[in-house]
Amino acid sequence: MKMWSLVIMALLLSACSGVNTSNTSMMEQLQETYEFNSTGKAHSVNKAISFIEEVNQREPKAKFKIYYQPAASEFIDQLLVQLKNSQVSKNRYELEVASSEQKKAVLIQAQYVHIRSQECGSLAFSNKDEYRFGCSLEHNRNISLANPLKSTY
């Protein structure tokens, strides 16, 4: 009798357990580039700033790398003045002298990460049975993996 009650109890417990759907998310690292030759005119600075601000508006955590030929150093000075007046933090852009293989005078690269995860929603008493446990935690973990904190030491 005890054996049958244990078998029935085990059967009931295994039948009552449900399958938990996994939290899936996809991370994409994207890069946009803008390059040009004419650096002596004021409209080229405005076009470069408009590219940076447009990407910054869409992706507030984008990082910018600006590669330039040594002949375009005056343009870079004007661009830096404009960048300091814009909403882009100075730790989000880097300047580098271009390699000899670069054909254009200035190359601006914007790099950012898209995280596509399931919508977690909010937890309430009315949806406590349907709420996927750990969804918000998984989403925040993906953000931390894509944009790790850097030490300031």
83 close to 93: Cβ distance less than 8 angstroms = yes
pLDDT confidence tier of residue 111, bands split at 50, 70 and 90: very high
Is 131 a domain residue? Answer: no
Tokens (6 digits) for 149: 């904190």
Query: Residue 74 maps to which CATH number?
Result: 3.30.1330.60
Give the helix/strand (H/E) hosting 140. helix 135-146
**What is the mean pLDDT of the segment spanning 127-145?**
72
Is 46 a domain residue? Answer: yes
Task: Give the Cβ contact number of residue 108 at 10 Å.
Answer: 20
Q: What is the pLDDT of residues 6-47, one digit of tens each?
A: 888 777 776 555 555 565 667 788 999 999 887 777 788 899
How confident is the prediction for the chain on average, in pLDDT?
Answer: 81
Helix (H, G, I), strand (E, B) or coil at 33: strand
Rounded to whole angstroms, the Cα distance separating 122 from 105 reads 50
Is 81 a domain residue? Answer: yes
Q: Which domain holds residue 109?
A: 25-115
